[in-house]
Amino acid sequence: MKRSMLSLVAAMLCVLFLFAGCASGGESSSQSSVDSTAVEPDSSEDSTEPESGSDSAVRTITDHAGNEVVLPEKVEKVAIGGLTPLTSVYCMFMGSSEGLVGIHPDSKNAAVNSILGEAYPGLKELPDGWASGDDINMEELLKLKPDVVFYNADVTANYEALAAAGIPAVGFSTTLYEDYNTIDTFQAWIELLKDVMGDSDRADGIIAYGEEVKSKVAEKLSSLSDEEKPQALILSNYNESAITAGGISFANYWIESAGGENLGYDIGAFVGQVNMEQVYEWNPEVLFLNSFSAYTPEDLYNNTAVDGHDWSGIKAVQNKRVYKIPLGMYYWFPPSSDSPLMLQWMAKQMHPDLFEDLDIEQEVREYYTQFYGIELTDEQLDLILNPTPESAAAF
């Protein structure tokens, strides 16, 4: 496959990938639309401007888009838009879904069809009709009377519409770091939540855990030579329509941070559509199936995935080194509240001997107890580490 054609297709696929709110770019901003029938603020509600002589009535923060946002001294009502994984991070930070008055329908689907909804059942009842994709129905949103709306910082049309309606809007970004460091992104979301919601007893512990994980994994991998790093590929999605490989973003961060070489790097874009010929040319030693896909490792081992796709000649298939990326509070591939677990899981799959002492099941149990207050059952743990085909269709 010629790289020029691959890069062109990759750019197109990148736009499609953004539907889940995992990342966004200029195209998303220009395509986002807002219901223009109700963009005026409700003058009957309390203004965010301070009363005369009351300097403490509001405060100003800076979000990931670089915008200065004026907020009430105490934020009590929050709506979360198209950055879908952020809902799980909010609940982790707050210790509950308290304060949420509306979420994106994709976030609601995630809550209904994963352990997120079991941990925070209130999410299942929240209004979601005010948002669709990157679009906002301003009339419906104003009915929720939020103190602030969290949105994808790369979708500038959302900010402009919310500002015009007089609703404070705080942008959270997935593209803060050139290397798409997913754990650092997750931690930056926690820091911004501290700015908006106030400090949390949980926040420092969440960030400290992530830093410890990064340090421990990096230390174990520090002595690896390039020859000892397996050539790996993440299929960010795989269905009857296309094979989509991870490129320079989250896929590259996960593979390189876990001690591997990312074969998809040359795609030169977030993700890219490839064919079986390209997969055979790469011939990955380790292959990861994102949980966006309904297929399992057994489908590749048994050639029961897509008709006409023969995986039997791929090293990862021959050596039974195909792994399905877990699905916990959210998909583990993009930034999420489970990102520190993803790095450990990836490193364990890439270098089982180096990480022989890492009991990933126990690590997940302890993490969920410490940061979510959940004692996982064996069934719940199995569903996290071995997502069902049905879970892919739910999002």
Which residues span the domain enclosing 354? Answer: 223-393
Is 204 a member of any domain?
Answer: no
Question: Over 90: is that where the pLDDT of 166 sits?
Answer: yes
Is 48 a member of any domain?
Answer: no
Give the pLDDT band (50/70/90) at residue 350.
very high
Is 328 a member of any domain?
Answer: yes
Give the pLDDT band (50/70/90) at residue 44.
very low
255, 257, 261, 264: CA torsion to nearest 10: 40
Q: Residue 56: its pLDDT value, please?
A: 58
Q: Residue 318: its pLDDT value, please?
A: 98
- Pair 158, 250 in one domain: no
Tell me: the pLDDT tens digits for 105-129? 989 988 888 899 999 999 999 999 9
Cα angle vertex 18, ends 158, 342, to 5°? 115
Question: Over 80: is that where the pLDDT of 42 sits?
Answer: no
Tell me: the pLDDT tens digits for 248-275? 999 999 999 999 999 999 888 778 899 9
Q: State mean pLDDT over 187-192.
A: 98
Among residues 139, 173, 207, which one ends one of the domains? 173
The proportion of the chain whose per-residue pLDDT surpasses 90, expressed as a percent, equals 75
Is 241 a member of any domain?
Answer: yes
Among residues 173, 207, 236, which one ends one of the domains? 173
Is 263 a member of any domain?
Answer: yes
- Pair 158, 256 in one domain: no
Q: Residue 395: its pLDDT value, please?
A: 53
- Pair 248, 367 in one domain: yes
- Pair 156, 238 in one domain: no
Place of tokens 């199995």: 382
Inter-axis angle of helices 201-221 and 182-197, to 10 degrees? 170
Question: Over 90: is that where the pLDDT of 367 sits?
Answer: yes
Mean pLDDT in the chain? Answer: 87
CATH of the domain at 153: 3.40.50.1980
Is 17 a member of any domain?
Answer: no
Q: Residue 19: its pLDDT value, please?
A: 38
- Pair 247, 379 in one domain: yes
How far is residue 19 from each of residues 25, 48, 74, measured CA to CA in Å?
Answer: 12, 32, 32
- Pair 28, 152 in one domain: yes
Most confident of 11-15, 42-46, 184-188: 184-188
- Pair 272, 389 in one domain: yes
Q: Residue 201: its pLDDT value, please?
A: 82
What residue spans of the chain are helical by DSSP H?
A: 3-17, 26-31, 86-94, 105-112, 115-119, 138-144, 156-164, 182-197, 201-221, 250-257, 276-282, 297-301, 315-318, 339-350, 360-372, 378-385, 389-393
Query: What is the number of other CB atoms lying within 10 angstroms of the CB of residue 198?
Result: 11
- Pair 227, 367 in one domain: yes
Q: Residue 26: its pLDDT value, please?
A: 35
Instruction: Provide the β-strand partners of residue 109.
Output: none
Q: State mean pLDDT over 45-65.
A: 65
Q: Residue 51: its pLDDT value, please?
A: 39
- Pair 285, 363 in one domain: yes
Tell me: the pLDDT tens digits for 278-331? 999 999 999 999 998 999 999 999 999 999 999 999 999 999 999 999 999 999
Question: Over 90: is that where the pLDDT of 344 sits?
Answer: yes
Question: Over 70: is that where the pLDDT of 29 sits?
Answer: no
Q: Residue 1: its pLDDT value, please?
A: 42
- Pair 140, 227 in one domain: no
Q: State mean pLDDT over 65-70.
A: 98
Residue-wise DSSP of 71-93: EESS---EEE-S-TTHHHHHHHH
Q: Residue 111: its pLDDT value, please?
A: 87
Among residues 157, 173, 189, which one ends one of the domains? 173
Which two three-digit tokens encode residue 54? 């009351």
Rounded Cα distance between 190 and 211, Å, is 13
* DSSP character at residue 349: H
- Pair 145, 250 in one domain: no
Give the pLDDT band (50/70/90) at residue 137.
very high
Question: Over 50: is that where the pLDDT of 67 sits?
Answer: yes
Q: Kindly calculate the radius of gyration of the chain based on its CA atoms and give it in whole angstroms.
A: 21
Question: Over 50: is that where the pLDDT of 34 sits?
Answer: no
- Pair 149, 250 in one domain: no
Domain count, the chain: 2
Greater model confidence, 381 or 25: 381
Contact assessment for residue 170 and residue 98, using Cβ atoms and an 8 Å cutoff: no
Burial of 377 (0-12, 13-18, 19+ CB in 10 A): exposed
Alpha carbon 209 to chain centroid, angstroms: 18
Rounded Cα distance between 139 and 215, Å, is 47
